[in-house]
A and B are shown apart, each in its own frame.
Chain A
Amino acid sequence: MVWRRFCLLLVVVLAELVGLGFFIKGFFPYKKSIPGFASRHDQPQDITQIDISGIGSAAPGAFVHETAQYDRLVIMLVDALRNDFVFGNNSAMEYTQSLLRGGQAVGFTAKALAPTVTMPRIKALMTGTMPNFLDAVLNIAESDTSSSLKYHDNLLWQLKHQRNKTINMFGDDTWLRLFPGIFSKTDGTSSFFVTDTVEVDNNVTRHVRPELERNDWDVTILHYLGLDHIGHLAGPNSPLMRPKQKEMDNVVKDIYEIIRRQDIERTKNDSGAKPTLFVLLGDHAMNEIGNHGGNSKLETSTVFVFMGQGIRGQPIADEGKNALSALLAREVPQINLVPTLALLFGVPIPKNNLGVPLQELLEGYTEMERLRLLQVAADQVFGVVRANDPSVDSVDLVGISRRASSLAADSGNLDCSADNVLRCKYIVALELHRRYAMADSVSAGETERAYYDFMEQASEELSRAFSGYNLSAMAKGILVIGIATLALVALLQIRHGRRAGIFDFKTKRLVLSIPALLLLATYVMSNSSSSLIEEEHQFWYFWVQTMLALRIITSSSARDTLRTGMQMALFRIIRAWNQTGQSWAGEIDIRFYLNSSHAKHMWSLVIATAIIVNLYVHWLHLRLRRRAVLGAGMSEGNFARLSMCHMAFRLLLGYASFVALVYQMERNSGWEPLGVSRNTWTLVLMCVPSSIADMARVVYICVVLIGAIGGAAAWLRAQGNKETNQLAGTQEATLDMLFGMIPLLLLLSRPHNIPLFALFSSVFVLFSPPLLPVFGGARSRDESALISSHSLRPSKILVQFCLVHASFFALGNSNSLASLDLSNAYAGVSRYNEGLVGVLLFVSNWAGPLWWGAAILATAALDSSSRKEFRQLVAGLVTAAQVWQACTLLSLSVVVALMRTHLFIWSVFSPRYLYQVVWFAGYHLLYLTFGSLLWLG
């Protein structure tokens, strides 16, 4: 019966997985990127130079680098620089405005794409691609160094390797992580201290004069963070904003004057020297309250201002405040910077670029040169088109040239209907180009327009394909998940044994308790609120206390009330341990004290936790052995073996905890604050393996052995035909598992979180009087599992289910990807192994839920009266957990689909969805469902 149900459950859950797959495929777009770096040899032959006789190789076209217009580049990136901060009538950037008005600078409103946060924007600005949300996620899965652009074609790589430029970088250290090995001189500032609006910028500005005055650089990148910080702190209308703009304006003035002076000198000394290009830009902008991340017009409207010799804008006679307002509407995609700079500096365009060169900046070329550059750019975009649609054929330059030659000057255009439209447009442009070169009947402007026509359409279509949603796949996914949810509900409803179920039609009574239904309803509703997703921990903390309060209200004995009151007090401490979420994440919590001024206490608590757990297991084993003696049906030999097993279990647990502690203290130098001398510590280290990775491995081995011994003990205990012995074996095995996994969690948690496991254990034992050394008392039988006598009384398991979720957040996690803790994912792993690191990442971040999941199992065993009842209970619980998960997944899928244009879709809802995927696949499916298989046998 149990097995048949289980198989049915698995089938439904697998169907749900398929639905999830559909949904993810529709929601997270996938794009194909071309590996490798562009080189000058990839460039197409110049169409005007092709020998149409077809014999012999064609003359090579002019390489792009021969037509470089600039030698040196200064990029000044001001974080969150919105277009009206420069062009608007309330801007304090007077010098920049005067340059724009005087025609010495060209300005654009650069449109950024979501997610409008710094790292994806820098990627976009340097690769010309559109890093999407999935990139950010996959980066987390990869090792820290490969989240860089080391293996992605980018502008800086091209400048450094093709033109041998010396590149310096001052400012936000994101660049240093993105481009390892590219920069010659660096001074990174961290964007972590958002409250600092002065020092972050002074740290950059102090380099401007000294470094630019020297002549040993070719490219200098300055990344200012202060303006963004002001936005986050006080919004765009903050009184700090105008002074900051003024400060940025002064930097612009300094740089502009330095490079102008230098350029005059350089051209005097060397007639071949080319001038310096100065670009002022923003990575993204900010909304009306100073935040960013989403897709609103305010957040995506940032700036490009190009300055330097050779830049010729339209002078504006108007001196008024709104003189530059036309620039607010002059929108160009942000990624257009990449091909523009590549062409101006004569380097190949990065392979995956989707940008289109800015026409205004190519004015300095002759018509012939310009068309050649456009051909190169169009060829690169066409490469991306082909990479994403393999059915598109390559173009035959010789054939096109032949046909162009044979065509009469005005014999009409190609028929585009049969062919791929993009390819056809490209061919049209090439033909025009060829004909322009041969005869004058085609104007350069017409050819240029044809190239732009092709590139803009290609860029637009590819962008759409990369960032759009596949709504039909999403709808299919929701449909399948919905059906699976209904099936799971039906599965839960079908009575098995005498428990579980949702509604009893015979007696017309609700079987599922009211608190559980209320919890599910409020949770499903809260999934549609972005703030309740960000602050999900508040939801769970509140509900744990509510459930415990309900247990107090409905309790039947004073001892029970006392125990539950103690649980509430303990949980209040647990809740204060780690502040998490968004709005209150910065508030002072216990973690802060432990990590700053009270490191000594932290390590004392860590050691105390290990000792308490070990002592408690010792006490528990003594007690269990006494029970075994009292219980009948156990042979003398088996009893001796059981004692041996318990002994071995405790020894291994002790040693594993010890090694895990030493590992933590060695890794975080925890022995120093404790006042342990170097020599003593060396002595301690002699008891454990020498390398830190080996320590972790020893813990893994010990935990596996603990599991094996615990299993053996349970088997010995269950010997004999007595039903009570079998049940006792299960009960003891679940408890052994619960405490046997603690060394693993000690190893994989951050040190300040370790004492939380002592608190968790205390809360757990307070649920079950037989586990308590004090305040004990008889177990009340009305307590079992999902049902209880009082319709408002939450069962222990329901409270523990809330604790599963609450403990996830109590360990400092949140629904933001930023809170994912990678620090312990490499414990004992010497080589990068995706699977292994993934498992460790899961265990270290889901440590709390894993422990409480085992606690639920132990509670189920303790509250069952027979082995059969336990098995039915576990099967029912697994189904109930899957119903819970399916309802959550379904509600989130619907919310995400409805809110796909919402401001917070990438910053709040998508990360939440990914967390739910891990909850589903990792926790509910692999851990709970398959884990429970061990206990059903």
Chain B
Amino acid sequence: MGSAKQHQQQDKPPASSGGRADGAALADHKKYPLEANGIELMLAGMANAMSLVTPRKGLNIYANPVKYLSVTASVLFGYYAILTFADIYCFKVTDARRRSKPLAARVRSVLGMALATLVAAAVIALGFVLFGAPVGSQHAETLMAALNVALLAVTPVILTLKRDIGSWRRALLSVEAKSIPEKWAAGFFWCTMTTTWAAAYFVPMDWGRPWQRWPIPIVGGAFLGNLISLLFVALRCFVLPMARADFQESERIKVQMTREPHPGSAHPNAVKKDQ
């Protein structure tokens, strides 16, 4: 999570640039056609659910968390790999470009995604240890948990922001106005991370439940956080900008209509009066 950091500080209060942010959001909305994204969100929810459901007998998270988590990680990775390979992860530009991408480039982007996810998993595993994960034992558990959390929290960031370090910094580490992909990335990353963090409170409780064993609460928190971020991101990146765009569009039409009055139906109020 700390891999992208720049040295200069740019802490501008967001309140002062509110008007500009709206304009920028509208521009982003125009820049990124949103064709595949409804499917994408549904798919993400399904992948999340699928990876949690026990597919087979004998795959028990309490009995063998490492095996279970490797299955969930594989499902998640497969989901991202398919989206990356088909180049239909959200905010893609045009169908023409999508079709024209050569096979080697597609494989390369899948590999790049895998590599970046592994690096993120390593960083997250280190973070787990710093926050108190066992050092002398349960290495596989810690690593698999980190891999799952990385897939849920960091891979969406990798896939949306690519190699744009400035964008990474703006999305994850600042309160500046963000573009829609940055909002998308920040939503996934911070929702998932915060829930993962909060889920750690269940570890020291003395309820003696099997799901309190390391690292089950953490991973559970990450999955829950990911589901929350799906809703959050859907609202923040699609519903709100679209609603805003619609609203602005209708306002614009209204303004137009008031400027060029038609006889009889000049004002909306006048229309109402007629009825």
Contact = CB atoms under 8 A, between A and B. Distances in A.
Interface of A: 289, 526, 529-532, 534-535, 538-539, 541-542, 545-546, 549, 552-554, 556-558, 561, 568-569, 571-572, 575-576, 581-583, 588, 789-790
B135 A545 contact: no
B204 A583 contact: yes
A558 B5 contact: yes
A778 to B, nearest CB: 14
Interface stretch (B124-132, B154-162, B220-228, B233-241): B124-132
Nearest to B136: A588
Nearest to B132: A541
Contacts of A557: 7, 9
Contacts of B274: none
Nearest to B197: A546
Nearest to B2: A552
Given A531-B206, A561-B2, A569-B130, 12 more contacts: A530-B206, A532-B205, A545-B132, A546-B131, A552-B2, A554-B173, A556-B8, A558-B5, A561-B5, A568-B130, A572-B132, A576-B135
9 contacts: A529-B205, A531-B204, A531-B207, A545-B130, A545-B131, A546-B131, A549-B127, A556-B9, A588-B136
B174 to A, nearest CB: 9
A568 B123 CA distance: 14
Nearest to B172: A553
Contacts of B132: 538, 541-542, 545, 572, 575
A693 B1 CA distance: 54
Nearest to B5: A561
Given A541-B132, A545-B130, A545-B132, A582 B203 contact: no
State the 6 A-B residue pairs at the shortest beta-carbon distance, nearest first: A531-B206, A556-B9, A535-B204, A538-B204, A531-B205, A545-B131
A542 B200 contact: yes
A581 B132 CA distance: 15
Interface string B198-230: 001101111110000000000000000000000
Interface in B178-213: 197, 200-201, 203-208
A845 B129 CA distance: 28
Contacts of A532: 201, 204-205
Contacts of B205: 529, 531-532
A582 B206 contact: yes
A576 B130 CA distance: 11
Contact of B11 (A561, A575, A789): A789
Main secondary structure of the interface of A (DSSP, over half): helix
A513 to B, nearest CB: 14
Nearest to B9: A556
A268 to B, nearest CB: 58
Contact of A553 (B9, B173, B204, B208): B173
A545 B129 CA distance: 11
Interface string B122-164: 0000010111100110000000000000000000000000000
A186 B197 CA distance: 54
A568 B205 CA distance: 24
> Which of B130, B173, B208 has its CB near the most chain A CB atoms (within 10 A)?
B130
B215 to A, nearest CB: 15
B262 to A, nearest CB: 46
A921 B208 CA distance: 36
A542 B217 CA distance: 15
B169 to A, nearest CB: 11
Contacts of B206: 530-531, 534-535, 582-583
B61 to A, nearest CB: 21
A467 to B, nearest CB: 26
Nearest to A529: B205
Contact of B131 (A542, A581, A789, A790): A542
Contacts of A542: 131-132, 200
A583 B207 CA distance: 11
A558 B8 CA distance: 9
Contacts of A526: 201
A561 B205 CA distance: 32
Contacts of A549: 127, 130-131
Contacts of B1: 553
Nearest to B129: A572
Contact of A538 (B129, B136, B203): B203
